[in-house]
Amino acid sequence: MGMRKVAVVGAGMTKFVRRALETPKELTWEAAHMALGSCEMTMDDIEAVCFGTAPDAFDGVHLNGEYVSDGAGAWRKPYMRSYVGGGTGVFVPIQGWYHVASGLFDVVMVVAEEKMSSFYPHAQAAFLTIFDHTTERPLKPNLLWIFALEMNRYMTTYGISKADIAQVAVQHKRNAADHPCALLGDADITIQDVLNSEVLAWPVQRLDVSPVSDGAVAVILAAEHIAKRITDKPVWIEGVGWHLDTSYWTNRDLAYPRYVEYAARMAYDMAGIKEPRKEINIAEPYDPFDYKALHHLEGLQLADRGKAPELYSDGTAARTGNMPVCPSGGLLGVGNPIAAAGLMKIAELFWQLRGEAGARQVPGQPRRGLAQAWGDLMQVGTVVIMGR
Amino acid sequence: MHERVAIVGVGCTGFRPITPEQSYKEMIYEAAMRAYNDAGVDPRRDVDSFVTVAEDFHEGTSIFDEYTPDQIGGALKSVHTITGDGLHGIATAYMLIRTGQFDIVAVEGHSKASNIKTLPEITAYAQDPILNRPLKLNSHFIAGLEMNRYLFETDSTQEQCAAVVVKNKFNAIKNPFAPYGANLSIEDVLTGPMLSWPLGERETAEHADGAIVMVLASEEKTLSLTDKPIWILGSGWSNDSPGLENRDWAHAVYTEEAARMAYRQAGINNPLEAIDIAEVDDTYAYKELQALEALGICREGEAGILTLEGFTNSDSGLPVNVSGGSLGMGNLLEANGLARALEIVLQLRGEAGTRQIENVNIGLAQSWRGVPTTSGAVLILTN
Amino acid sequence: MTAKIKEFPGISLSEQDFAEGKILYNFDKLNGIYAWDTGVGIGSYLASLKAGVILGSHCSTCRKIVVPPRTICEWCYRPMDEFVPLKDTGTINTFSLCYVTWDVQRIKEPEIPAVINIDGASPMHGIMHMLGEIDPKDVKIGMRVKAVWKPVEDRQGSINDIFYFKPIKEK
């Protein structure tokens, strides 16, 4: 069909920590520097930079994209920052993709960074301002409400228990014990630990949540003719998709993320995938809360509605199962520096599909993976499909 | 890949200092509805993707992209937000269509500056939090520093900068979209209050509210939608150093780089010969002079002379800012670039009313993201 | 790649480091004041709240009545046909029991936010508000609730003109 092929050829990331010493520019530089080093390139080879970071409110800097631009290597280069809330981590590689697929650029660096710890007393408070300023903010809403309201609706609609959901937190945090950058990896956590943890906003409990973190991730994208020269194992971006639902979230059924479905269909169409459950070897859905992974797996058409917990209970989602889910450990295990967390999934698929994921490696030479992120007021789905 | 992309529809609400009767959503709907009508498309059915430009702190809402889809017809469709100027938005739509995956893409930008009660403090919040903000200076100081160095290195004068104000505000009188038209003399401008010496208050664009939406299409779709397509010949954008401590103060290097990228795509070697009409950034009057030099339209130090001579007037060699620029239309926050592009589109279509310049075939629009940034973009269009 | 790298960058700090003065920092606060034009749609909603009515709007093409009201229908992209006063009763769509405030303070008695489908609007169309006069243990999805309004003289044309929604017993 004449579409220009684009591959991921390098990746780098920092540790995800609760509060980093490094400034946003330094964190960004660390990840970008590592990504360049991983494929033996320098900034001279990079033709454009795409940057993603979540709300300016966290860093306490207006026009934050401009502020961090030099840390991302955008000095005297075409630079753009894209922004779809939590979906940004998987959107910014899509932005990099269209930079290269348009034919305007051959090599692009994609960076995502988050420094949430700058906000006092706690980054969570910054989320007050994401609600509608006239119809919702006067109620002093809390970020936790969004998730709790959605989780409750999901559980009640399909009759899913907290124990079903807790499996996800357990599996992801155990997976993360093998991730060198992980903040919350725990090889010994159990379902009971999750169910005994402090109730924050019922039905959400502390261990259902991935806490705020600082961190940065970078990947390098290249057009086909360059990718083949740089590495003998390029990982191709086979499909991309993104959809944004209406802002009137109280007029929607929260039990099912239809915007994730549409984003996934867009990506599957582009990748020529007809039977996702058979053709996707690794899934990295967005898991800031444990029930979200289930919610998204259903939206991604990788499980029937209300049936995603079975992927965990029957072993399909384990690293050695038929369709490993979040072998990285996901946000629940590695940490949640919002935009960087999404890009971490892309980096994970890059390493997994090249057989370089070390202790986290999914066996059997996986060929195709899917990364998905979500954000806003339960509104946006961003999907990237990668393959070898 | 689809190589040729055109602007097939534009819609604008016009600009005013306040817009109390409309919420931002209602204001944007008005612009969008006009653009879709102009293009002859139904966004729910025909538009494949939507791009909006916005900044959280200008809206007073975090993750502002949540509130973008409904009023542009993008509910439950492919929509994303770029934190950039309208020309970055157009560049994005251009890239999306060129990938071959999207045929029709809409771009939206707006300003509700009147709703930001502490705008100078918000703008100051973009300064480096550790190195600059503790000095507690109004951000216009950065323009003052830059203007001073620019005048020094190029031997340009305050009188030449004032000539920009006189020209643009006079042009704005003929622009029904522009709220700040006026018939001033150079003396009027120079005797106004000082803002941040050498920058005077009357050389600084005031803010205005309004929205602009544009519809872009691939070549194939364009030919079936309109008989007045405006083709994109080149699109470039670039960033220089964000830090005040290490930037080139006299030259708009980001504009030079963005222009180089756009000229290369358009195959333009001699901008002065090739370009028939230009809309450039004049958030501060000296920026227009600096931009003309950075765009290679004249040599360093010449822009002021040419302006004082009248070379950039509407009835002369190279009309610049026939719309009135930001000085005439208002500083429209992220929508500035779209306002610059809008005028070029109208002129190239022959729809600029009493402002119409004859025999225009290639037009250039350039924008800057304002203090404290060094981020700019250039767009070259043709009929 | 991760198999080959020994040490990943990123130095972790703790609150202790700040308390002990090991880290230099500065503190800044934004003075961000906004006055958002409410426009026709939301302006009418607020004026109706002041009059003790929850207002919706009707799109005849989509055959839907939505709340909060807007001037255009986001689904068919046409102007809405008219405003429609709705009832001030509804059904709980979903809820939560929140023990943490927006600025991360722990509270003993939970706040109970909920999405309430408003009677008179199309199914699954509602607003977010709080629940009150109810034992947290008793809240269920599907419960019927009614708005408790502020006295007329205290209303300002705000979503807070409704204190909360309380359960109603229906025969």
pLDDT digits (tens, 9 = 90+) for A68-80: 999 999 999 999 9
- Computed over every residue of chain A, the mean pLDDT equals 94
Helix (H, G, I), strand (E, B) or coil at A81: strand
C170: pLDDT confidence band, cut at 50, 70 and 90? low
**Is the confidence at residue B197, as pLDDT, over 80?**
yes
List the single residue in B with minimal CA-CA distance to C29.
B125
A145 at C interface, C-beta within 8 A: yes
Domain span at C158: 39-167
* Nearest by CB: A356 against C1, C96, C128: C1
- The Cβ of residue A97 has, within 10 Å, a number of other Cβ atoms equal to 25
Instruction: Give the tokens for residue C136.
Output: 């947290």
Sign of CA dihedral B38, B42, B48, B50: positive
Q: Measured between alpha carbons, how far is B88 from B81 in angstroms, rounded to an integer?
A: 11
Residue C7 counted as domain residue: no
Mark B173-188 as b/e (b = at least 16 C-beta within 10 Å): ebbebbbbbbebebee
- Widest distance between CA atoms in chain B: 57
What secondary structure does DSSP assign to A144-173, as a single string? Answer: HHHHHHHHHHHHHHHT--HHHHHHHHHHHH
Secondary structure (DSSP) of B276-343: SEEE---SBHHHHHHHHHHTTSS-TTHHHHHHHHTTTSTTSSS-B-TT-HHHHH-B-GGGHHHHHHHH
Enumerate long-range contacts of A136-142, CB under 8 Å, 24 or more apart.
A136/C128, A136/C159, A138/C158, A138/C159, A138/C160, A139/C113, A139/C128, A139/C129, A139/C130, A139/C159, A139/C160, A140/C101, A140/C102, A141/C102, A141/C113, A141/C128, A142/A201, A142/C98, A142/C100, A142/C101, A142/C102, A142/C111, A142/C113
pLDDT in tens, C33-61: 999 999 999 999 999 999 999 999 999 99
Residue (of B241, B14, B283) closest to B123 by Cα position: B283
* Site from C31, C36, C37 to mutate, B interface, most B CB atoms within 10 angstroms: C37
Beta-ladder partners of B26: none
Per-residue pLDDT of B259-313, as tens digits, reads 999 999 999 999 999 999 999 999 999 999 999 999 999 999 999 999 999 999 9
Residue C14: the pLDDT is: 84
Chain A hits for B126, CB-CB cut-off 8 Å, are 61-63, 66-67
Question: Is residue B281 located within the same domain as residue B328?
Answer: yes
Phi, psi of A312 (to 5 degrees): -80, -45
d(CA A107, CA A220): 7
Extract the tokens encoding B355: 């402002």
Q: Judge if B213 and B287 occupy the same domain.
A: no
Interface residue A129 vs chain B (CB under 8 A) = yes
Terminal C-alpha separation, chain B? 22
**Could you tell me the two tokens for B5?**
């992309």
d(Cα B85, Cα B212) in Å, to the nearest integer? 12
DSSP state string for C42-76: HHHHHHHHHTT-EEEEEETTTTEEESS--SB-TTT
Flag whether pLDDT at A54 surpasses 90: no
C121-144 per-residue burial string, b: 16 or more CB within 10 A, e: under 16? bbeebbbbbbbeebeeeebebebe
Query: d(Cα A343, Cα A373) in Å, to the nearest integer?
Result: 9
Would the CA dihedral through B266, B270, B274, B279 be positive or negative? Answer: positive
Same domain for B39 and B151?
no
Q: For chain A, what is the domain count?
A: 1
Question: Do B198 and B237 fall within a single domain?
Answer: yes
Please, are residues A144 and A204 in contact by the beta-carbon 8 Å criterion? Answer: yes
Q: What percent of chain C has pLDDT above 70?
A: 96
Q: What confidence tens digit (pLDDT) does each residue in A204-232 have? A: 999 999 878 999 999 999 999 999 999 99
Question: How much is the average pLDDT of B333-346?
Answer: 98
- Predicted confidence at residue B1, as pLDDT, reads 62
The answer to whether C75 faces chain B, any CB pair under 8 Å, is: yes
Alpha-carbon gap, residue B347 to B323, rounded angstroms: 10
Q: Which residues pair with B9 in a beta bridge?
A: B215
Label the pairing between strands A214-223 and A107-115. Answer: antiparallel
Interface of A with C in 152-171 (CB under 8 A): 152-153, 156
Whether residues B83 and A77 touch (CB distance < 8 A) is answered with no
> What is the torsional sign of CA A303, A308, A310, A311?
positive
Chain C closest CA to A212's CA: distance in Å? 13
Which 81-100 residues of chain B touch chain A by CB within 8 A?
A: 81-84, 88, 91-92, 94-96, 98-100
- Give the number of other CB atoms < 10 A from CB of residue B152: 12
Residue in the block written with tokens 């109208």: B346
Q: Per the domain annotation, does C79 fall within a domain?
A: yes
User: How many Cα atoms sit within 13 Å of A9 on the Cβ side?
Assistant: 29
Provide the chain A residues 65-84 that lie in CB contact (below 8 A) with chain B.
Answer: 65-70, 74-84
Do B187 and B317 share a structural domain? yes
B88 and B196 fall within a common domain: no
Cα-based distances in Å from A23 to A26, B130, B247, B347: 5, 11, 20, 47
**DSSP-based three-state secondary structure for B183:** coil
Our count of domains for chain B comes to 2
Asked if residue B234 lies in contact with residue B380, where contact means CB atoms within 8 angstroms, the answer is yes
Q: What pLDDT digit, counting tens, does each position of B135-192 carry?
A: 999 999 999 999 999 999 999 999 999 999 999 999 999 999 999 999 999 999 999 9
Q: How many domains does chain C have?
A: 1
**Which band of pLDDT confidence, cut at 50, 70 and 90, is reported for residue C4?**
low
Whole domain around residue A240: which residue ranges?
6-120+211-387
Choice between A382 and C105, residue whose per-residue pLDDT is larger: A382
Q: Rounded mean pLDDT of C137-164? A: 96
How many other CB atoms are found less than 10 A from the CB of residue B313? 18
Residue A130 lies in a domain: no
| Amino acid A121: pLDDT | 78
Shared domain for B67 and B53, answered yes or no, is: yes
What type of residue sits at position B327?
L
Quickly state the pLDDT bin for B226 (edges 50, 70, 90): very high
Q: Which two tokens stand for residue A377?
A: 């007021």
* Bridge partners of residue B214, in order along the sequence: B10, B107
Q: Report the C-alpha gap between B324 and B173 in whole angstroms.
A: 8
DSSP letter at B372? Answer: T
Specify the pLDDT at position A211: 79
Q: Return the SS3 of B30.
A: helix
Q: How many Cβ atoms sit within 10 Å of the Cβ of residue B118?
A: 15
Tens digits of residue pLDDT in C6-29: 788 888 888 888 888 888 888 888
- Write down the pLDDT at residue B171: 97
Considering the domain architecture, whether residues B174 and B219 belong to the same structural domain is answered as no
Looking at the fold, whether B57 and B192 belong to one and the same domain comes out as: no
Token output for B318: 């190279």
Whether residue A111 is predicted with pLDDT greater than 80 in this model: the reply is: yes
Contact B237, B258 (CB under 8 A): yes
State yes or no: pLDDT of A196 exceeds 90.
yes
Check: CB of residue A83 under 8 Å from CB of residue A50: no
Query: How many Cα neighbours within 13 Å face the side chain of A255?
Result: 17
Evaluated on CA atoms B277, B279, B280, B283, the torsion sign reads positive
What's the confidence (pLDDT) of residue C2?
A: 59
Burial of B219 (0-12, 13-18, 19+ CB in 10 A): middle
Over pLDDT 90: what percentage of chain A? 89
CATH number assigned to the domain comprising residue B357: 3.40.47.10
Amino acid at the residue B203 = E
Does A249 fall in a domain? yes
Query: Does B45 lie in the same domain as B136?
Result: no
Is pLDDT above 80 for C171? no
Q: Which of A14, A144, A215 sits opposite C100 (nearest CB)?
A: A144
Q: Please check whether residue B225 is in contact with residue B8, taking contact to mean a CB–CB distance below 8 angstroms.
A: yes
- Nearest Cα residue to B49 out of A218, C82, A58, A242: A242
For residues C80 and C141, the answer to whether their CB atoms sit within 8 Å is no
Angle between helices B140-154 and B158-172 (to 10 degrees): 120
CATH number of the domain that A304 lies in?
Answer: 3.40.47.10
Quick check: A272 contacting B, CB < 8 Å? Answer: no
Per-residue model confidence as pLDDT tens digits over A324-383: 999 999 999 999 999 999 999 999 999 999 999 999 999 999 999 999 999 988 999 999
Model confidence band, residue B20 (pLDDT cutoffs 50, 70, 90): very high
A1, pLDDT greater than 50: no
Residue A21 in contact with partner chain C when CB distance is under 8 A: yes
Residue B62 and residue B187 in one domain: no
Position A339 in a domain: yes
Query: Residue B135 burial (CB < 10 Å; 0-12/13-18/19+)?
Result: exposed
Across the range A253-261, mean pLDDT stands at 95
pLDDT reading at C1 higher than 60 = no
Give the angle subtended at the CA of A265 by the CAs of A260 and A271, to the nearest 5°. Answer: 125
Cα separations (Å) of A314 from A167, A168, A303, A320? 11, 12, 13, 12
Average pLDDT for residues B108-124, to the nearest whole number?
97
Domain range for B61 is 5-118+208-230
Q: How far apart are CA C72 and CA A208, in angstroms?
A: 39
End-to-end CA distance of chain A: give it in Å, rounded: 19
**pLDDT tens readout for residues B29-64:** 999 999 999 999 999 999 999 999 999 999 999 999
Q: Which residues fall within 8 angstroms of residue A267, CB to CB, at 6 or more apart?
A: A239, A240, A241, A273, A370, A383, A384, A385
| Inter-chain touch B60–C34, beta carbons under 8 Å | yes
Residues in B closer than 8 angstroms to A69, CB to CB, are 239, 242, 375
Identify the closest residue of chain A to B247 by CA–CA distance.
Answer: A75
Kindly state whether residues B82 and B213 are assigned to the same domain: yes
Amino acid at A7: A
- Residue B53, CB-side half-sphere exposure with 13 Å CA sphere: 30
* B240 vs A242: CA distance, rounded Å: 30
